[in-house]
Amino acid sequence: MSEKEKKSPGKKSTDTSPDDAEVTRSLSRYREQIDQLDEQLIRTLAERHKVVREVFSNKLSESAFIRDARREETLLRKVREMAMDAGIDPYFTEQLFRDIIYQSVRFQSHSLLDHSNNKLEVRTITVAYQGTRGAYSHQAAMRHFSERYDDVRCIGFKTFEQAAMAMVEGEADVAILPIENTTAGSINDSYDLLADKDLHVTGEEVLKVNHCLMACEPTPLEELRRIRSHPQALSQCSRFLAKLTNCEIQPYTDTAMAAQKIMEEGDPTQAAIASSYAAELYDLHILAKDLANQPGNYTRFVIVSREPMVCDPRIPTKTSLLLATVHEKGALLQCL
């Protein structure tokens, strides 16, 4: 045996494969590269948005249409070709750019609406909604207004009527109300408010409802002893909940309030069903996602104001017509 092959007394031979420490260092370097590329993507999107603002100003002065279907199709075709040349999935890339285009059109449409109503320079808005921070109504309000205003102030109320009246009485600029859900159907309380109060529908927001199970710690599901949420959310997640054993299902006032309660109590055996947005706000761990019995659960919200808004003809708009009939035979026929 040569000197190189001799083993030192008391020492074990080592494996020639890279050790765990080196693998960890390599993985960290790759992740740092990805983080840098992600930052570059964000900066590029921000620069693109600045150009979109300039495009809007140009369209405003020339009375040009917001959408250019031919331009969009040309761009998407070019994107697919570039993706294939770069060796990445053209379908994924096209979907990504469709979202970018949608956001651009959405920003320009909202800006044109604000310009038509002399609100382009207004940077603060107060929104009334039913629920508490992290509720789906709160999430929809932030999604609808955050791109248009520097400061979006949301005020939560116990009922839809209280939220609407806060707007009517001037405590808030607008109110946001859920009007229909793909699973639960029409929200009658909101329809009653539209029929009984002098409210003007001035916008809408469609939000995907993604129920998540969350707790203050990453607790295994079999160790959970109580789950709280709004009765409607519990009903929509009944199949998932039926699989849990030795676990009490407790109805609660609101999904976000249930999440807040879990955060305050700090008991890892208790969980809530609410949105991922609520989990982020209350610093909770998501234990499971997509809990609803039926996929594709969406809620349509309407924005209501004290006064109607002027709509530029270039903005795609909807007309909402509400009929309240007397409860008698042939009432609907007479309306038609």
Query: Could you read off the pLDDT of 240-280 as tens digits, one per residue?
Result: 999 998 899 999 988 999 999 999 999 999 999 999 999 99
Q: Two tokens at 216?
A: 């203050």
**Catalytic-role residue among 160, 299, 317, 319:** 299
pTM exceeds cut of 0.85: no
Q: How far apart are CA 311 and CA 320, in angstroms?
A: 14
Q: Is 183 a catalytic residue?
A: no
Domains of the chain by start residue, with CATH:
28-116 (1.20.59.10), 124-207+297-311 (3.40.190.10), 212-288 (3.40.190.10)
Q: How far apart are CA 146 and CA 299, in angstroms?
A: 19
Q: What's the pLDDT at 314?
A: 85
Low-confidence ranges of the chain (pLDDT < 50): 1-14, 16
| Catalytic residue selected from 56, 145, 157, 301 | 301
Instruction: Output the DSSP codes for 223-252.
Output: G--EEEE-HHHHHHTHHHHHT--S-EEEE-
Q: In the prediction, which pLDDT does 4 show?
A: 44
* Residue 295: per-residue pLDDT: 83
Phi and psi, residue 182, nearest 5°:
-65, -20
66 touches 317 (CB < 8 A)? no
| Per-residue confidence (pLDDT) for residue 20, from 0 to 100 | 74
Active-site residue, 301 included:
yes
Q: How much is the pLDDT for 1?
A: 47
Contact 66, 315 (CB under 8 A): yes
Q: Which two tokens stand for residue 35?
A: 């983080």
